């Protein structure tokens, strides 16, 4: 193990321009994810002036806005944040599936790393737990995953 080559990303956000795209739907949860992402990036060297917050109506619109930002060479990465909470109808399943698939497609097609911070919860309690309480802050985790991916990609030649 000790002689193998290892490529891994440093968690250093210095000099990176990052867009945080956050839904207005369930904003009482999503604002906690936004705070978690900004806090994480700031504590890892990002300048506030290099962070841009873009408001998005709901999870269904996340892929479209991610796509637009990913095609803009000014941004090194995106943190996509939202919360879908199950209701009485199958609506939840359609929104979660399309948002998740869409974000993955944008990331693969454009090559821009996107941190996936979309909560898909059965209850409001589950969402609260993941937005800065019992189960951590998924906004911060999404920012970390995006940052690591950016830094690994930098080391992998085309």
Nearer residue to ligand INI within complex by CB, 22 or 107:
22
State the minimum distance, in angstroms, from the CB of residue 20 to ligand INI: 15
Give which of 136, 145, 47 is closest to 103, Cα–Cα. 145
State the minimum distance, in angstroms, from the CB of residue 51 to ligand INI: 22
What is d(CA 143, CA 19) in angstroms, rounded to the nearest whole number? 10
Nearer residue to ligand INI within complex by CB, 95 or 131:
95
Instruction: Judge contact between 143 and 115, C-beta under 8 A.
Output: yes
Name, in order, each residue with C-beta under 8 angstroms of 104's C-beta and a sequence gap of 6 or more: 116
State the minimum distance, in angstroms, from the CB of residue 3 to ligand INI: 48
Binding site for ligand INI (CB under 6 A): 23, 25-26, 57-61, 82-85, 87, 91, 95
Nearer residue to ligand INI within complex by CB, 27 or 50:
27
Catalytic site includes residue 91: yes
Comparing every residue's Cβ against ligand INI, the nearest one is 58
What is d(CA 115, CA 65) in angstroms, rounded to the nearest whole number? 14
Nearer residue to ligand INI within complex by CB, 13 or 132:
132
CA distances from 5 to 2, 41, 154 (A): 9, 28, 16
Determine which one of 24, 47, 68, 91 is catalytic. Answer: 91
State the minimum distance, in angstroms, from the CB of residue 59 to ligand INI: 3
What is d(CA 61, CA 77) in angstroms, rounded to the nearest whole number? 18
Which residues belong to the active site? 91
């Amino acid at each position: 193990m000790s002689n193998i080559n290892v490529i891994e990303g440093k968690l250093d956000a210095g000099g990176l321009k990052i867009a945080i795209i956050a839904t207005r739907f369930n904003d009482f949860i999503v604002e906690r994810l936004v705070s978690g992402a900004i806090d994480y990036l700031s504590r890892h060297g990002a300048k506030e002036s290099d962070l841009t917050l873009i408001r998005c109506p709901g999870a269904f619109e996340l892929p479209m806005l991610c796509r637009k930002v990913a095609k803009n060479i000014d941004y090194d990465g995106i943190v996509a944040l939202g919360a879908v909470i199950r209701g009485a109808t199958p609506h939840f399943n359609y929104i979660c599936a399309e948002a998740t698939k869409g974000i993955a497609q944008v990331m693969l097609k454009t090559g821009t790393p996107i941190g996936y911070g979309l909560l898909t919860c059965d209850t409001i309690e589950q969402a609260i737990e993941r937005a800065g309480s019992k189960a951590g802050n998924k906004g911060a985790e999404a920012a970390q995953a995006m940052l690591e991916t950016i830094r690994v990609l930098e080391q992998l030649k085309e």
